[in-house]
Amino acid sequence: MNFQAVSAIYKFEMARFFRTLKQSFLSPVLSTSLYFVVFGTAIGSRMEAVDGVEYGAFIVPGLIMLSVMTQSITNASFGIYFPKFIGTIYELLSAPVNFLEIVVGYVGAAATKSLFIGLVILGTAYLFVDLNIHHPIAMMCFLVLTCLSFSLLGFIIGIWAGNFEQLNLVPMLVVTPLVFLGGSFYSISMLPPIWQTVTLFNPVVYLISGFRWAFFGQADVSIGVSLGAISLFTLACMAFIWWIFKTGWRIRS
C-alpha cells in the first residue's frame, strides 16, 4: 500500500472541504433545525409516541441517514468526476498507484466528510430532544459503514456520470425517495400489512432500522439482517469498482 499516495489524495480532497467549512457546518444545522421545527414540534406535538419513543427523538436516526447517504454520494461522485472532467485523471492512472489506493483516498475523504455531517446533525438533535443512545458503539459502526458504502456508490456514480447533471440524478431521484419511503419518519409497523411487505423490498429500510435499533434498542427488521444487508451492499460496490478499473469502463475512453 502506497500510503503517501493515499495521503496525498485524501489531503487534497479534505482541503476542498475545509475551504467551505462554514457552509458545510451551517447547512446541516439549519436543515436539521427546520426538520425538528416542522416534524418534531408542529407535527410531533400532535402525535403519540412511536413504539414508546417520543416522535421528535424517533426521527433523529432517519434524519441522520438521509443527510449521510446523500452527502456521501455527492462528495465521492464529485471528487472523482472533476479530475475526469478536466482530464487530470489520466495523470493519476499513469502514476505508480493501484486502484485500491485511489479508491481509499477518494472514498476515505468522502466518508470522513459525511461522518462529520452526521455527527453535526446528531449534536444539533440534542438541542431539540432528549436522546439516550442505547448502543453507542453499534451506532458509530452503522454510521461509519453507511458513510463508506454510500461513498463507494458515489465513486461509481462519479465514474459513470457524463455531465454534472447526472451527478445529482441518483441522489435526488433514487436515494432521497427511498429514504423517505424507508421508514425514516415512521415505523413500517404503522403501515397496512401489504405495504409492510412492499416496503421490505426497499434496501434503505434495513439501514435505517439497524441504525434506529442502535439508538432505541428496537427495530422493524432484525439487527442481523440489517448488518448483512449493509455488508453485502458494501462488498457489491467494491466488486463493481474493481471491475471498473480492470476494464477501464468510463475512465479510459
pLDDT tens by residue, 111-169: 999 999 999 889 988 888 888 899 999 999 999 999 999 999 999 999 999 888 888 88
Q: Which three cell numbers stand for residue 202?
A: 426497499
Mean pLDDT rounded to a whole number for the chain: 88
Contact 244/159 with Cβ under 8 angstroms? yes
Quick check: 245 and 156 in contact, CB under 8 A? Answer: no
pLDDT in tens, 21-77: 777 777 777 887 887 777 766 666 667 777 788 888 888 999 999 889 988 999 999
Residue of 105, 182, 205 lying closest to 151 (CA atoms):
105
Give tens-digit pLDDT for 181-200: 888 888 888 888 898 888 88
Residue 113 neighbours by CB under 8 Å, 6+ apart? 14, 17, 24, 71, 75
Contact 145, 234 (CB under 8 A): yes
Quote the distance between the C-alpha of residue 174 and its chain's center: 13
Is-contact 216 53, C-beta < 8 A? Answer: yes
- Whether residue 122 contacts residue 136, with contact meaning beta carbons closer than 8 Å, is answered with no
Cell numbers for 16, please give them: 476542498
In a 13 Å sphere around the CA of 27, the CA atoms on its Cβ side amount to 12
Q: Where is average pLDDT lowest: 87-91, 223-227, 233-237?
A: 87-91
Report the percent of the chain where pLDDT is more than 90.
42
What sections of 171-222 are H helices per DSSP? 176-180, 193-199, 204-216
SS3 187: coil
